[in-house]
Each structure stands twice: as structure tokens, then as C-alpha cells.
Amino acid sequence: MTSSSYGSTRLEAAGFVVHPARRAAAEAARAIGGWLEERGVRTPTIAGDDAEDEEAAREFARGLDLVLSVGGDGTFLRAARVASVSGIPVLGVKVGRMGFLTEVEPDQATAVLERMLDGSARIEERLAVVAEGSSFEPQWALNEVIVEKSARHRLIRLAVFVDDAYVTTFSADGVISATPTGSTAYSFSAGGPIVSPSVPCIVVTPIAAHMVFDRSLVLAPDQRVRLEVLGEEPGLLSADGRHSLELPVGSTVQIERAPTPARFVRREDAPSFHDLVRD
């Protein structure tokens, strides 16, 4: 889903999530942060790697009105998770290769932030998902949740249920549950469809399935996916590429629409989704 809105947005504190290894990202964050501080906005900063820690992300997000990602799409995914804690918008400042998620070049950021300050910024909402299980804390994801094999030369067997109805069992390298935003990421590489962000859905795509049926399932946004680890091989769970969590045989993972969407700050002349796909 996508929906755009304009409205008054208080901007007293803007937190920066910065790529830890790119000097250009640190320099851009300092310049943008200085511009905001001149206008009375607090600008705490956290490194992208540190933002992966659940407790650190919650503490950092407290009291923020905006999160700025300075780096590439990986940094943006970490920043979006931080922003999701408080339901605040995130703005992606692109430093490095072109990405689907980062919105502006460093020299364009202040023009967008001016619109945040005067309450006229365009905010776009995107569907996100959350994965839950008995052995781990809920895992929020903007792109995808992956359940995959833990041993390189083995396969994992995953039973797939949709709203408690059994669908199939994949014998594969893994299964991806992707959002429309994530349809152009790992799901696309695994043969899944390209989905416009304006189409609310969850896409379930097997990774290198060793069976005749190896197609994606496109589900309604309010349907629930349940994956059960069968057989003898345990699995791993990862949300948006974060640290993998172990899934013993018999584990169950439920993936469904997150209670609140991700919120992107968009510039007025932002390229369309299909422009990005073409480029």
C-alpha cells in the first residue's frame, strides 16, 4: 500500500542513522545536522550497525520526530526499523550507489527538510510486516522476512500455511515473505514478481525450490503466513538482512502485516516506482 499525506509535522528532534564505513556519509550527516541545529532541531546520531540492536534502537527513537538515513538502502532499512518504533517518518539521504529506497542526494536534503519544518512535506506510507515465534522477539521488516537453511549443502523443508489453511511444503534453500517494497529485493532475485508499492499484498517466494511447484504466492495484505520447520534440518530467520536467528526443527514462524506502516518522506519531484525499475 502507499498513501501520501501532507500536514503539520513538529520537528524538534531528528535522529541520524549513518553508514558506519563511508566517510562521505559521516560528512553529509554533519553538514545536514549543522543546518538543522541552526534551526533549533536536536540531531542525535547512531551508527547503522548499532541501530540493529533492539534496545539501542528503542532508546534512540524515544523523543524523535524524524529519522534521517545517510548511506544506501541497507542503512535505510535500519533507519526505517528505528523509525517504526515510534511511528515517525524516515528520510533517506543517498550516499553511494543508486537505490530504491534512498530519496535525496545530500545537497537536496535541506529543501525537503524545509518542507518538514513548515509542515508541508509529503509523507508516503508503505506496508511493513512483522514475524513472530515462540523463540524470538517480534521482528519488523520493511522488505522481507526470510526463513532459510542453516547448512550450505542441505535443504530445508518448510510447510506453508495461509490463515491456518495448509498450502504446500517447500523443499528449498528457504522461503521469502516480502512486502511490495521488498518485491524488488531478494524476492525478485529468487524469481518473484515486481509489485508496485501501491498494491497492498504479501509475496511468498521459495528460494531454489527442489520441486515442480516453485511459484510465488501473492496474498491479501491482511492474510497471515505461517511457516513450520519440518524434517531434520534447522533453519535461520532474518528480517531485512539483520542478524540471523536460529530456528530448531519444529519451530513455527508467523508473518503478517505490521500494525503500523512505514512512513517515507518524499520530495515533490521524486521519480516514480517504474522509473526506478527501468533505471
Residue 108 DSSP SS3: helix
Measured CA to CA in angstroms, residue 224 lies from 166, 220, 260 at distances of 12, 9, 16
Q: Determine contact, residues 67/57, Cβ cutoff 8 Å.
A: no
Say how far apart CA 57 and CA 81 lie, in whole Å. Answer: 8
Q: Is 164 a catalytic residue?
A: no
| Residues 119, 83, 197: CA angle, nearest 5 degrees | 80
Residue 260 CB neighbour total at 10 angstroms: 14
CA dihedral 94, 98, 102, 107 (to 10 degrees): 30
63: left (phi over 0), alpha (psi -120 to 50) or beta: left
Q: Which of 49, 53, 73, 163 is catalytic?
A: 73
- Dihedral sign for Cα atoms in the order 228, 230, 232, 233: negative
Nearest to 128 by CA among 114, 110, 115, 140: 140
Say how far apart CA 168 and CA 48 lie, in whole Å. Answer: 37
Residue 152 CB neighbour total at 10 angstroms: 6
Residue 254 DSSP SS3: strand
- Only one residue has cell 553511494, namely 96
**Residues classed as catalytic:** 73
